[in-house]
Amino acid sequence: MPRRVMQGVVVSDKMDKTIVVMVERKIMHPLYKKFIRRSNKYSAHDEANAHKTGDIVKIRECRPLSKNKCWEVIADEA
């Protein structure tokens, strides 16, 4: 089964090996047909504590690592 991949902005890096990523998506309003923004926050595993607040990162779904953490940061392909 394929793993979901999302891109978002790091909003918190205060925890050890964990970052909080805010993912924003645009959906069309069913009545007014205007695009509105919806955002969710995901806790993601950052093994090296490499990412700081404001960084744009990609996260991938993984097995549950804790109560709230079931996403991991994808290493940058440079």
Q: What range defines the domain where residue 65 resides? A: 5-73
> Is the residue at 14 inside a domain?
yes
Using the predicted structure, report yes or no on whether residue 41 has a pLDDT greater than 90: yes
> Is the residue at 78 inside a domain?
no
> Is the residue at 41 inside a domain?
yes
Across 44-65, average pLDDT: 96
Percentage of residues in the chain having pLDDT higher than 90: 91
Q: What is the CATH number of the domain that holds 48?
A: 2.40.50.140
Cα dihedral 38→5→62→45 (10° resolution):
-70
| pLDDT band at residue 78 under the 50/70/90 scheme | very low
Summarize pLDDT for 7-40 with one digit per residue, the tens.
Answer: 999 999 999 999 999 999 999 999 999 999 999 9
> Is the residue at 69 inside a domain?
yes
What's the pTM?
Answer: 0.88
